[in-house]
Amino acid sequence: MEELRRLYGDRFILHVGWMFGSVILASDPEAIQQIFTSSKFRSTGQATRQFTGPFLGTRSVVSARGERHRRKRKLLLPPFHRERLQTYPQRIRELSDRAIRQQIPGIGFSIRPLAQSITLQVIMDVVLGECANGRDRVLREHLKNWSEAIASPIVTSSILFEPLRDLPDWTPWGQFRHLSETIDELLYAEIRHRRSHLDPHRPDILTLLLQARDENGDPLEDDEIRDELMTLLISGQETAATAIAWAMYWIHRNPSVRDRLIAELDGLGPDPDPLEMMKLPYLDAVCSETLRFYPPTPLTSQFEATEPVEFGDCLLQPGTRVSICIYLVHHREDLYPEPKQFKPERFLDRKFSQYEYLPFGGGSRRCIGEALATMEIKMVVGTLLSRYRLEMLTQMPVQPRFRGFVLLAPDRDIRFVCLGRR
Ligand code: HEM
C-alpha cells in the first residue's frame, strides 16, 4: 500500500482481481470527510458480506445496510457505551492477574494468546454472560481454536473460493468447518434455552436480542441472533488482543516509553483504582500511538457513490466503490512527523480530528466496541506493567502481517517472561 501511494498519490484504484473488482483507496483527510459525511456515498456492507458471510453469516450488523443497519446499531450500541461498562475495568484487571499467574515463573510465554484469553472472556461476559450447563466454558475453548484455525491460509482460501469448501474433514478447512458447526450447535442451544427461560433483567446482549423486535414488530429469528452473537464474539476478541500485543511490543522496544509509563502508573500508589488508571494521559497516549502505528483493522469496508460525485479531480460514476486506508492515513508525514517512530508524545502535543486519526473507522460504520477495546488495552497494559516485572524475550523486529482477512497482526510470537511481582 505504501508503494502504491508513493507511485500514485493519496487516492488510487486497487484492482483486487476478477472476483472482487476494483476499489479506490483513499488516505487524505478531505476524502475521508467527504466519504463519511456526503449523502452521495453510502456504506455497502457488500465486501464484508463476501469475506465474512461464510462464517459470520449474512444477517448481522456488519453486512446489513440502509435502514436495517441503522436499526441494528441503535439496538447494539447502548450496551457498549462507556457508562454501561463501569464494572469492566476491575474485571479486566482480575482477568489480567489470573492470566499472568497461570504462567510458570521464569518460563517464556507468548503475549497474543495471553491477551486473547482475557479479551475472549470479557466479550463472552458482555455478550452471553453465564450460560446453562457450563456451555460458556466449552464455547470459549472452541472459539479460541476457531480463531487459531482462521489464521491458516488454507482456511482463508477456502472461504474465498467456494470450490475449495468441499475439502475433506482431515484438512485444516475440514477441521474449521467442524469447529464452526460445533460452535453453531452450542449457540443455538443457548438461544433456545434462554428463549424458553427468558429473564429480562439479565444485562447481556443475548437477552437484549431476544427481547428486540424487527421493523414488523416480530421477534428476531434464531439465525439472525446467531449471526449477531458470532459477529460480536469474533470482532470483540481478536482486534483488541492484537492491539494489546502490539502495545506490549512497542513499550518494551522503547525503554524511555516504558520508564515514563511505569512512573505514571506508580504515581497512583500500590493499589490503583482502575477508574483512575483509565484516566492516565500517558497511558492513553501509548494506547493511541499503538493503534496509529499498526491499526489492527487497516482498511474500512467499502462505500459506494450513489450518484455522480466530484471527488478531488475526478468525477465518480454511480456504483464506484471507495475504501479508506486507515494505515496510510496514520503514516502521513504531514500529520505524523517521523511516522515510523513510536512516539506517544504526539498525542499529548496535539489533537487529531476524526478524519486524521481513525483506528475505529468512522461514519455510519464506526466501531461498536471502541469504548470496550480502549478499556481493555489500557487495563491489561496498565495492570501488567504496574504489578509485574516483565521482560521481552523477542529481540528481532516484528513486522505486521495479515491474519485472516482484515487483521494486521504481528508476523511471529512476541514472547515475554515474568520475573515476579514488582
Ligand atoms: C482495538 C480494537 C478494535 C479495533 C481497532 C476495531 C476497528 C474497527 C473498525 C475500523 C471498524 C469499521 C469497519 C468498517 O469500516 O466497516 C469496526 C467495526 C466494528 N467493530 Fe470494531 N474494532 C475493535 C474492537 C471491537 C470490539 C471489542 C468489538 C465488540 C463489540 C467490535 C465490534 C465491531 C462491530 C460489530 C463493527 C461493525 C459496525 C458496523 O458495521 O456498523 N470491535 N471496528
pLDDT digits (tens, 9 = 90+) for 127-151: 999 998 899 999 999 999 998 888 8
Our answer on whether the CB atom of 358 is closer than 6 Å to any ligand 1 atom is no
Q: What's the average model confidence in pLDDT over 62-74? A: 90
297 Cα to the center of ligand 1, angstroms:
8
The Cα–Cα gap between 258 and 243 comes to 17
24 Cα to the center of ligand 1, angstroms:
21
Looking at every residue in the chain, the average pLDDT score rounds to 93
Our answer on whether the CB atom of 360 is closer than 6 Å to any ligand 1 atom is yes
3 Cα to the center of ligand 1, angstroms:
27
The model's confidence at residue 397, banded by pLDDT at 50, 70 and 90, is: very high
Our answer on whether the CB atom of 359 is closer than 6 Å to any ligand 1 atom is yes
DSSP 104: P
- Pick left, alpha or beta for residue 37 (phi over 0 → left; psi -120 to 50 → alpha; otherwise beta): alpha
CB atoms within 10 A of CB 107: 8
366 Cα to the center of ligand 1, angstroms:
7
Q: Which of 223, 297, 233 is nearest to 48 (CA)?
A: 297
pLDDT (tens digit, 9 = 90+) per residue, 329-388?
Answer: 999 999 999 999 999 999 999 999 999 999 999 999 999 999 999 999 999 999 999 999
How confident is the model at residue 303, as a pLDDT?
A: 94
Our answer on whether the CB atom of 79 is closer than 6 Å to any ligand 1 atom is no
The Cα–Cα gap between 82 and 372 comes to 7
The Cα–Cα gap between 391 and 227 comes to 40
Our answer on whether the CB atom of 248 is closer than 6 Å to any ligand 1 atom is no
Our answer on whether the CB atom of 230 is closer than 6 Å to any ligand 1 atom is no
118 Cα to the center of ligand 1, angstroms:
18
Q: Residue with C-alpha cell 471507495?
A: 322
pLDDT (tens digit, 9 = 90+) per residue, 145-161?
Answer: 998 888 888 888 877 77
Our answer on whether the CB atom of 323 is closer than 6 Å to any ligand 1 atom is no
The Cα–Cα gap between 175 and 168 comes to 9
Q: What is the dihedral of CA 270, 275, 281, 282, to 10 degrees?
A: 50
Contacts of 352 (CB under 8 A, 6+ apart): 335
119 Cα to the center of ligand 1, angstroms:
14
Q: Quick one: which H or E segment has residue 43?
A: strand 41-43
Could you give the residue ranges of the DSSP H alpha helices within 150-171? 153-160
Contacts of 238 (CB under 8 A, 6+ apart): 116, 119, 147, 296, 403, 404, 407
Our answer on whether the CB atom of 131 is closer than 6 Å to any ligand 1 atom is no
Residues of the chain with pLDDT > 90: what percent?
Answer: 77
Residue 228 has pLDDT above 70, yes or no: yes
- Pick left, alpha or beta for residue 338 (phi over 0 → left; psi -120 to 50 → alpha; otherwise beta): left
The whole-model pTM stands at: 0.95
CA atoms within 13 A on the CB side of 393: 14
How confident is the model at residue 48, as a pLDDT?
A: 61
Residues of the chain with pLDDT > 70: what percent?
Answer: 98
Our answer on whether the CB atom of 368 is closer than 6 Å to any ligand 1 atom is yes
Which residue has its alpha carbon closest to ligand 1 atom 31? 369
pLDDT (tens digit, 9 = 90+) per residue, 181-190?
Answer: 999 999 999 9
Q: Which domains does the chain possess? A: 2-129+202-421 (1.10.630.10)
Angle at 160 between CA 163 and CA 401, to 5 degrees: 140
How confident is the model at residue 383, as a pLDDT?
A: 97
How confident is the model at residue 47, as a pLDDT?
A: 61
277 Cα to the center of ligand 1, angstroms:
24
